[in-house]
Each structure stands twice: as structure tokens, then as C-alpha cells.
Structure 1
């Protein structure tokens, strides 16, 4: 055929034109199929992404539901534990206070009687009870460091604070003479009061105050006894004497319940991760399987059609290139040029393709020259 194509006539030229038409048609079909392939590929990827998103959302929601359900039970149990602990602490505090009251009752009664004894001494010896206070004893019968501290504070108030307030807030003018007179007045008044109390109270009832001081020292020891008993009771970690077993039993049961809920939560999450997750994924995939399978079948059909069309294009292109292009020329292997050659052969009754090509080229040369 290769040796006879130039000697062929209109029929052979029409066959070549038909092959070109078939090639163009296949190329157009291939372009259309590739567009369709891209659309289907995009649809498949979009569908797969939608499925993956739906699976992810469902898994997250189901897991959160499991966690929320167990967390609600855990919170409730923890609140019950906290409530019982508060009740236990309240009951223990009441019983500890009751124990302190009971165990210090004797010492407190002794303290009360000692205080009454001092009051009786005041009353019997006609000493005003106004002097039965810490300030009086600290100033006139100091015996401890705190007593000397109280005395120093009294001096500071009388000789510094009080003069300053009077001098800056009360006096109309700040003059040194006023300050001198004020100090003199304070010394005279309070010094006189001190000397009067020392003479009429302290010195007159010296023997009585010796007894009172002995009693006060005994009261200090009694107060220390109460304090030590209270401290020992508060430090005692043994709760068996407070009848708190019911609270401990409830707390133990709730702690076991809490551990059980935690174990149940852990097991439920493990089951979800190892089993339920796959079931949910399979269920959602099954819901969309038909639609996705349809898209994939369409894609496979289009892909197969593209392969078939591309094979046809390749075969036609090779056939045209090997059997016609070398003889007719690439520039003439177009539908328009072949139509012109066929029309030329009909108009001039040309028998062969080679003659038609020669006549076409002659016309082209003449047209160019003119």
C-alpha cells in the first residue's frame, strides 16, 4: 500500500481523509474523557474526604459521650466523698472539743475556784476589784518578761504618744512652754496616781498580795495544764475513740466505687479503641459504599475508555505517519488540504494522487507568482 498510495485515486484519498477524521474524533473524545476523568477523580476524593470527616466526627462524639458519662459518675462520687469527709471532720471536731472539755474540766474548775479565791481576798480586805487586772499586776508586781514589756508600753504611751497627740491635735499653738507644762502635768497626775495606789493599795495590803501572787502563779500552772491537754488531744492521731467508723466505712465503699468507675471508664475506652471504632468506621463506610462504588465504576469505565481511545490514537498516528506522511507530505495531511486535492481531481479529472499533488503545487506556485 505504501508503494501505491501516490498512484491511488479519489477513493484512496478519501480513505486517508477518513483516517484523519477518525484521528481528530478520537482526540476530541480523549479530551472529553480526560475532563470526565478529572471530574470523577475529584468527586471520588471529595466523597472519600467527606466519609473520613464523618467517621472522625462520629468517633470523636462517641468517645466524648463515653467519657462524659463516666466523668459525670466520677464527679458525683467525688462530691459524695467530699461531703462525707466534711461530715466526718465536723463530727470529729465536735468530739475533739467535747473530749477537751471533759479532760480539762477539772483544771478549768480549779482555775475558776482560784479566781474566786482572789476575788474573795479582795472583798474580805476591802480592796477595790478594779485592781484585779493584768495591767495592775504587771506594773506593781512584775514577774515575767511580758510584765516589763507592758510597763514599758505604758511609759511610752504616757510620755510620748499622749503628749504628742495633745501637743499637735489639741493645743492651739505649738510652744515649748506648753510642752513643758504638759509633761509636768502628766508626771504630777499619773505619778501621783501611781504613788497613791502604791501607798494605799500595794503597801497597805502587802501580805494579801503575797497570797494573791501565789494563787496567780498556781493559775498560770493550771492554765498551762489546760493548754498542754488541749495540745496533746489535737496532736492525737488515733480516731478510734471518736466513733467515726461509719464514716470510714462509707468512705471506703465510695473509694472502691470510684476505683470501679475509673476501671470501667478505662475498659470502655479500650473497647472503643479496639472494637467499637472499627464497627463505627465499617458502618459509615457501608452507608456510602454504593455511591462511592458507583463513582469508582464510572471512573474505571472512563479510564478504560481513555486507554482504548489513546491506543486508537497511537495506532492511527503511527499508521498515518508511516503510510501517508512520507508520500503525501505532512503539510497536506489535513482535512482541508485533502478536500482541496479531492476537489481538484474531480474538477480536472486527475487520475492519481501524485498528479493531484503536482497540480496543487503548480497552482500554489502560480498564485504566489501572481
Structure 2
């Protein structure tokens, strides 16, 4: 009823306004529910898509690792064979090296045995006690090498320092510097007495024989150095052709080739997986998800359309109320409680039009002292 004065209307116009407000409230409630459903479906779709991608990634990663682990397991087995073969090769080579050392040093070792026996024979023929046929004796009485000097220094250190200090600190109940000096002098005297006695009884008496044995020991020393040099040279020799290692080397070469073949197979398997198999796996996982996502998307589209329609209805009603009712009633009073009050006034016979009902309402409020 465009152009008609709303205030001249009666109970029917009030019912019309009430119905418009109730309809607006209903549309708003429907819009709220529809919007909530739209949001829920959007979240559900997003969760499904996330779950799908996570399952695809996890499954593809797991299957790829299974392929890698299978090939790595085979490689580890071959590596274990290589280690075992190398250990056998090293053991065999070491045995051959030892044989070669024994063979090439045999003349020198035999010569040393003869020289040692010759020295023993000299001591036996000249009735020199065998206890003097030692390295320490010759170091003390016929020193010739740096090691002899070191042996002399060690013996002097023990005799003139270690023994006196041990007696002084551990055996004496009372410790005085004078006691230490006395012990030192006694130790030195005993040492030099024994040294001079052995020198007089053995060295001076058998100087010629001892000098001869000294020469023999020098020859033994030279031979030992030669033996040591031969051992070092053989161990450092890179030529392994004389040790018969061909069978081991052939086996190791075959094992290395086997590892190379497994690595190539692994590379091909992973390439096939990445280019083809992974896509098949992804599609098989996505298929059931896609059905659910499509269904949810359709429901979401319906909810979205419903929300859009409801928004238009709400908008249209709000504009209608703002255009047709609020200018007469007032925006702040355009509510169901106020309209119900006006309806009750007319129904009670206190007014026939909306304008009269409003005037009656205001008068009652003034009488009640409410502005």
C-alpha cells in the first residue's frame, strides 16, 4: 500500500508489520544456520583435502623408503661378503709375507745362530761364566754403542739414586740427611767394589776373548739391522704378484661389480617409482577422498546458494521495513513488543487506528511517569 498513510490503518496493518518482523527474524535465523553449515562444510572439505595429501605423502614416502631399504639390505649383504673376503685376503697375504721374510732372512738368522754359538764356545773353552755373556756386562765393561751408554746411565741411576732413596724413605724409621749421605756412599762403594772386582776377575783376565766376543756381538747386531731392513722393505713392497692373491682379487672385483649392478637397479627402481608408481599410489589414495570431497563440495555449494538467497530476502525485508514502516513508527520502536502493545490497545477498544493507539500508549506512559 504505497502512498497510503500507515498511521490511519488499523489492526490489519499492525498484523502486517508483525508478520514482516517475524518473517525477517525467521530469515535471519535460517541465514545464521545456513552460514554455520556453509562454514562447517568448508572446514570439512579443507580437512578432507589435508588428510588426503598427508596420506598420499606418508604412503609414497613409506613405499619409496621400503624400496631403498630392500636394495640397501642387499648391498649390506654384499659388503659383508667383501669384508669377509678382504679379511681372508689380508690373512693369506700376511702369511705369505711372513714366509717371504723368513725365506729372505734365513741366511742372516742362521749366521746369527752360528755367531751366538761361537761366542758361547769361547766362554766355555776359556771357562768364563756364562752370566757374563750378556748385553749388560758388555755395555758396562766394553761399551761401544749409544745404547751401551744409555744402559750405563740406567744402572748408575738405579744404584746411586733409586736404591739409596728407597732405603732412606721406606726402610729407615728416622730420616736425616746424614743418613741419606751415608746410604749413598755405601751404595756407591758397593757398586764400584763389585764393578772393580768383576773387571779384575773377568775383564782384565780375559780381555782378548771378550774383545773377540764383542766383535761377534757387533756382527750379530749388524745382521739384526739387516733383518729389520729386509722386513721393512718386504712389508712396504707394493708388488703383490708373488703372493698368489689373484683368486681373492677376482672375487673382490666380482663383488664390487655386484654392488654397482644393485646400485644401478636401485636407481632404475626409484626412477620408475617417482615417475609412475607414485602417481598410481596417489590416485588410488585420492579416489575415495575425491568422492567425499565432491559430495561435501556439492553440499557446500547448496548451503552457499541458500545463504545467498536468504541474504537477499533479509536485505529486501529490511529495506521494506525501513521504507514503509520505520518512518511512521520509528526505528527504535519497530519491534514486536511495541507492535503487540499497540495491537492490544486497539483490540481493547481504546483506539481504532495506529495513530490513536500510539497516542494512547504515550498518554499512558506519561501518566505512569515514564518518558
TM-score w.r.t. the length of structure 1 is 0.86
Match of 1:4 in 2: 4
How much has 1:228 moved relative to structure 2?
1.2
Aligned equivalents of 1:349, 1:155: Cα separation in 2 = 142
Mapped contact 1:167–1:179 kept (Cα < 8 A): yes
How much has 1:107 moved relative to structure 2?
0.8
How much has 1:186 moved relative to structure 2?
4.2
Match of 1:359 in 2: 356
Match of 1:90 in 2: 91
Change (3 A) 1:148 1:321: closer
How much has 1:356 moved relative to structure 2?
0.8
Aligned equivalents of 1:344, 1:177: Cα separation in 2 = 138
- Which consecutive residues of structure 1, in runs of 5 or more, have no partner in the other structure? none
Aligned equivalents of 2:31, 2:54: Cα separation in 1 = 34
Match of 2:120 in 1: 119
Change (3 A) 1:359 1:178: closer
Larger displacement relative to structure 2 (275-284 or 120-129): 275-284
Change (3 A) 1:212 1:41: same
Mapped contact 1:5–1:12 kept (Cα < 8 A): no
RMSD: 3.0
How big is each residue's C-alpha offset from its partner over 1:7-53, in whole Å with a ceiling of 9 and x where there is no partner? Answer: 66665654454434332221221122122222222322333333333
Mapped contact 1:55–1:281 kept (Cα < 8 A): yes
Match of 2:79 in 1: 78
Change (3 A) 1:341 1:214: closer
Aligned equivalents of 1:32, 1:179: Cα separation in 2 = 109
How big is each residue's C-alpha offset from its partner over 1:121-179, in whole Å with a ceiling of 9 and x where there is no partner? Answer: 11122222111110111111111122122223222322232223233333455567765
Mapped contact 1:40–1:295 kept (Cα < 8 A): yes
The reply to whether residue 62 of structure 1 matches residue 63 of structure 2 is yes
SS at match of 1:276: helix
- Counting only pairs closer than 5 Å after superposition, residues 123-142 of structure 1 correspond to structure 2 as 123-142=124-143
TM-score w.r.t. the length of structure 2 is 0.86
SS at match of 1:104: helix
Larger displacement relative to structure 2 (317-326 or 35-44): 317-326
Change (3 A) 1:231 1:8: same
The reply to whether residue 143 of structure 1 matches residue 144 of structure 2 is yes
How much has 1:233 moved relative to structure 2?
0.3
Aligned length: 366
Match of 2:231 in 1: 230
SS at match of 2:128: coil
Aligned equivalents of 2:179, 2:11: Cα separation in 1 = 147
Larger displacement relative to structure 2 (330-339 or 287-296): 330-339
Aligned equivalents of 2:188, 2:130: Cα separation in 1 = 25
Aligned equivalents of 1:212, 1:369: Cα separation in 2 = 149
Match of 2:171 in 1: 170
Mapped contact 2:139–2:149 kept (Cα < 8 A): yes
How big is each residue's C-alpha offset from its partner over 1:73-132, in whole Å with a ceiling of 9 and x where there is no partner? Answer: 232222222222222211111111111011101111011111111111111222221111
Mapped contact 1:168–1:174 kept (Cα < 8 A): yes
Aligned equivalents of 1:250, 1:202: Cα separation in 2 = 64
Mapped contact 2:9–2:354 kept (Cα < 8 A): no
